């Protein structure tokens, strides 16, 4: 061996002596371990044995109270109700068949269903309580309670349960709760949730889950051999979730929901001065309470794939061609760029020949000679074809985006869509071909590629009447308590860089739409105040040519000092003036507190349309 160093005698002796000490040390330490084991298992063993066998300790979770959701006036929209739930701990069952039979006799529980649940849940840990039935009725609860002594393994747990007081009310906005999925559990985004918990899945419930959910507590209880609770040993209380107040007005929202019943479409009402959403309705909708009870797969499928997508919040993720509503943007762009003056007149013969095809006006007979004011009031297509031709698509797009179209508004809800404002660069990138001048004409009357969401439409008219301020729409008024309200000031995203005279001219046009003879929006008129607005009738993109047109109306009132802006879209409603206009008028009337009894003939007209539904 090359490296053998060779010990000298002294070293070996030294080392051996030291290792002798080490050996003694090892013996001493192990003796300590033995003594401790003797102490635990022999001297105190009886008491530990008792603790482990006779008095078993169960750990229970305490479900926290979920934060309450209020409307802007403090009315409760979603709260919690006590619910009695029936649990079974598989390990505590003495006679499974007997238990299943008793439960069937007592409260009519299907034996096979319970058997399936027990089998599925108890795979990993047969001491984990399995939820068998949620929300027992008082009668069921009384029956179980009195027979609990004969039902080893079964137990009743009072737990808070979400309650949406008005049921099918602002469902898309408020959202719903659902059982947390495997994927969500693994995502680490729900650190306070465990398997079987219900979490917010959609709308406010989903977006504000963290604030609303609270923190669950723990309770240690002593149970006897049959799993019956003997006493609570210790308890970590749960922490309730934070309350949230929305900006919506409960009554206005209810009216909007009612107006859309049996229709497909959306309504957005907002405060033009700060972007607060006063109502946001989408139809068809659903009752969020049904998810609480546990919804089966086929029913869920029916909802998700149902006609007119009941789960889509059309107010923020429905993208529609704006139709004539887009003429508001066109008028601003035209005046601002100086390609028209208010007095320039254009002749409308019912169609505008461009290239080798005629671009028709909705009025086949033609409007004759029209200036800007009349063009807006009567929604003359030919006027705007010509205006669009002068502007070109890129200048149109510039003004549209300035008005907040084509980008997400940034409202604090998931699944918002941006809509689409096309320009020449976009088309080249998207389709690889250059922009066609004919497409500019279609876009000028809000058809073709142009798409907006109802929320964007409501904000568009707000911007015109609030002096050009583009606010981020706001849905949450405060979180926690009322004192936090000051923290959420209106967020100004931008301002229209246009002349005052431009806005004044467009405003006059929009007032005329509702209030002057010949205007397309007469049915939105409210006698007590001046409503301004714009109708729209938009074709539906798709292969089916026979699809009926979508009906639009955007309105605002009072015109001189606006308090509410409304956008209404009724899918397949055909005419904005008749299908959407009256709804906007009614909402405005209600919000401004005007009685319905005093009616002019025009109003009566409008009310009748509503009453048909």
Partner 1 sequence: MFDRRLLQNFDWVLLVLLVLIATLSLVNQYSATFVKDAGWSRIFIKQFYWYLIGFSILVLMTTFDYHALERLSWPLYIFVIFMLLLVMIMGKISSGSQRWLNLGIFNFQPSELAKISIVIILSQFFSSHGEYADYRLRDLWQPFLLILLPCLLIVEQPDLGSALMLGIIAFTIIIIMKIRWTSLIILAGTILSSVPLVWVTLKDYQKKRIFTFLNPESDPLGAGYHIIQSKIAIGSGLLSGKGFLKGTQTRLHFLPEQHTDFAFSVWSEEWGFFGSVFLLIVYLFLILWCINIAKNSKDKFGSILAIGITATIFWQVVINVGMTIGLMPVVGIPLVLFSYGGSSILSTMIGMGILMNISMRRFMFQ
Active site residues: 324
Q: What's the min distance (Å) between Cβ of 246 and partner 1?
A: 36
Q: What's the min distance (Å) between Cβ of 287 and partner 1?
A: 38
354-379 core/surface letters (b: 16 or more CB in 10 A; e: else): eeeeebebbeeeebeebbbbbbbbbb
Chain position carrying tokens 């066109």? 330
Q: What's the min distance (Å) between Cβ of 129 and partner 1?
A: 13
C-alpha closest to that of 361 among 394, 384, 340, 377 = 384
Q: What's the min distance (Å) between Cβ of 454 and partner 1?
A: 43
Q: What's the min distance (Å) between Cβ of 50 and partner 1?
A: 8
C-alpha closest to that of 385 among 447, 433, 317, 466 = 447
Closer Cβ to partner 1, 36 or 302, answer by number:
36
Cα torsion at 606, 610, 612, 613 (round to 10°)?
Answer: 160
- Whole-angstrom distance, CA of residue 379 vs CA of residue 512: 11
Alpha helices in 250-307 (DSSP H): 250-260, 289-292, 297-304
Contact 263, 282 (CB under 8 A): no
Helix pair angle (250-260, 581-592), 10° resolution: 160
Closer Cβ to partner 1, 9 or 434, answer by number:
9
- Residue 563 — φ and ψ, nearest 5°? -120, -25
Cis peptide before 181 (omega within 30 of 0): no
Task: Provide the strand spans (E) within 490-609.
Answer: 492-495, 532-538, 550-557, 564-570
Q: What's the min distance (Å) between Cβ of 125 and partner 1?
A: 5
- Which chain residues interact with partner 1 by CB under 8 A? 1, 3-8, 11, 14-16, 18-19, 22-23, 26-27, 29-30, 32-34, 36-38, 40-42, 44-49, 51-53, 56-57, 59, 91, 123-127, 218, 220, 233-234, 236
Closer Cβ to partner 1, 219 or 548, answer by number:
219
> Which three-class secondary structure state does DSSP give residue 157?
strand
- Whole-angstrom distance, CA of residue 183 vs CA of residue 186: 5
C-alpha closest to that of 240 among 211, 219, 218 = 211
Closer Cβ to partner 1, 108 or 191, answer by number:
191
Q: What's the min distance (Å) between Cβ of 218 and partner 1?
A: 5
Q: In degrees, to the nearest 5, what angle opens at C-alpha 107 toward C-alphas 197 and 114?
A: 50
C-alpha closest to that of 521 among 376, 320, 360 = 376
Cα–Cα separations (whole angstroms), residue 163 to 44, 81, 83, 166, 216? 51, 6, 10, 9, 19
- 7: exposed, middle or buried (C-beta count within 10 Å: 0-12, 13-18, 19+)? exposed
Residue 312 burial (CB count, 10 A) = 18
- Phi/psi-derived region of residue 262, left when phi > 0, alpha when psi is between -120 and 50, beta in every other case: left
Closer Cβ to partner 1, 127 or 145, answer by number:
127
Structure tokens at 41: 């298992």
- Residue 573 — φ and ψ, nearest 5°? -85, -10
Closer Cβ to partner 1, 218 or 302, answer by number:
218
Closer Cβ to partner 1, 39 or 294, answer by number:
39
Cis peptide before 409 (omega within 30 of 0): no
Q: What's the min distance (Å) between Cβ of 155 and partner 1?
A: 16
> Which three-class secondary structure state does DSSP give residue 438?
helix
Closer Cβ to partner 1, 236 or 596, answer by number:
236
Closer Cβ to partner 1, 51 or 73, answer by number:
51
Residues 359-363: contacts with CB within 8 Å, 24+ apart?
Answer: 359/385, 359/438, 359/441, 359/442, 362/537
Closer Cβ to partner 1, 11 or 604, answer by number:
11
Q: What's the min distance (Å) between Cβ of 390 and partner 1?
A: 60
Q: What's the min distance (Å) between Cβ of 41 and partner 1?
A: 4
């Amino acid at each position: 061996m090359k490296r053998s160093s060779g010990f000298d005698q002294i070293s070996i002796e030294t080392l051996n002596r030291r290792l002798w000490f080490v050996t003694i040390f090892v013996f001493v330490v192990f003796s300590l371990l033995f003594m401790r084991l003797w102490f635990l298992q022999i001297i105190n063993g009886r008491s530990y044995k008792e603790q482990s066998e006779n008095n078993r300790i169960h750990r229970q979770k305490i479900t926290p109270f979920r934060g309450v959701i209020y409307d802007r006036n403090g009315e409760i929209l979603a709260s919690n109700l006590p619910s009695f739930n029936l649990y079974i701990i598989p390990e505590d069952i003495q006679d499974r068949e007997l238990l299943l039979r008793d439960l069937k006799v007592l409260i009519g529980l299907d034996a096979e269903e319970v058997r399936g649940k027990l089998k599925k849940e108890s795979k990993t840990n047969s001491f984990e309580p399995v939820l068998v039935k949620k929300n027992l009725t008082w009668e069921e609860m009384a029956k179980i309670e009195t027979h609990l002594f004969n039902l080893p393994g079964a137990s009743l747990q009072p737990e808070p349960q979400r309650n949406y007081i008005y049921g099918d009310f602002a469902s898309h906005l408020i959202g719903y709760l659902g059982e947390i999925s495997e994927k969500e559990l693994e995502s680490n985004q729900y650190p306070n949730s465990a398997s079987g918990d219900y979490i917010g899945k959609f709308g406010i419930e989903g977006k504000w889950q963290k604030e609303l959910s609270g923190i669950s507590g723990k309770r240690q209880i002593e149970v006897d051999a049959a799993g019956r609770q003997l006493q609570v040993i210790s308890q970590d209380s749960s922490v309730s979730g934070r309350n949230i107040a929305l900006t919506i007005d409960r009554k206005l929202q209810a009216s909007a929901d009612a107006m859309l019943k049996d229709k497909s479409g959306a309504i957005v009402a907002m405060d033009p001065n700060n972007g607060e959403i006063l109502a946001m309705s989408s139809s068809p909708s659903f009752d969020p309470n049904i998810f609480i009870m546990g919804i089966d797969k086929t029913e869920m499928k029916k909802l998700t794939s149902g006609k007119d997508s009941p789960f889509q919040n059309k107010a923020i993720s429905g993208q529609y061609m704006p139709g004539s509503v887009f003429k508001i943007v066109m008028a601003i762009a035209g005046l601002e760029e100086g390609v028209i003056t208010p007095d320039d007149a254009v002749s409308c013969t019912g169609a505008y020949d461009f290239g080798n095809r005629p671009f028709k006006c909705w009025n086949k007979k033609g409007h004759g000679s029209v200036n800007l004011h009349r063009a807006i009031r009567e929604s003359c297509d030919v006027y705007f074809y010509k205006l669009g031709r002068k502007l070109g698509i890129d200048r149109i797009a510039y003004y549209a985006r300035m008005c907040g179209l084509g980008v997400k508004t940034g409202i604090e809800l998931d699944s918002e869509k941006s809509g689409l404002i096309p320009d020449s660069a976009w088309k080249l990138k998207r389709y690889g071909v250059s922009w066609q001048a004919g497409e500019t004409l279609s876009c000028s009357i809000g058809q073709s590629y142009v798409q907006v969401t109802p929320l964007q439409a409501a904000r568009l008219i707000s911007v015109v009447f609030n002096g050009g301020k583009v606010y981020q729409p706001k849905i949450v008024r405060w979180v926690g308590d009322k004192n936090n309200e000051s923290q959420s000031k209106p967020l100004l995203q931008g301002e229209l860089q246009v002349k005052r005279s431009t806005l004044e001219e467009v405003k006059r046009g929009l007032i005329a739409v509702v209030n002057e003879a010949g205007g397309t929006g007469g049915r939105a008129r409210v006698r007590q105040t001046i409503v301004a607005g714009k109708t729209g009738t938009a074709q539906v993109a798709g292969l089916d040519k026979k699809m009926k047109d979508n009906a639009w109306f955007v309105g605002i009132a009072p015109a001189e000092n606006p308090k509410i802006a409304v956008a209404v879209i009724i899918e397949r409603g055909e005419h904005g003036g008749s299908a959407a206009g009256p709804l906007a008028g009614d909402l405005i009337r209600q919000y401004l507190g005007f009685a319905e009894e005093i009616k002019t003939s025009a109003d009566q007209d409008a009310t009748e349309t509503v009453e048909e539904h």
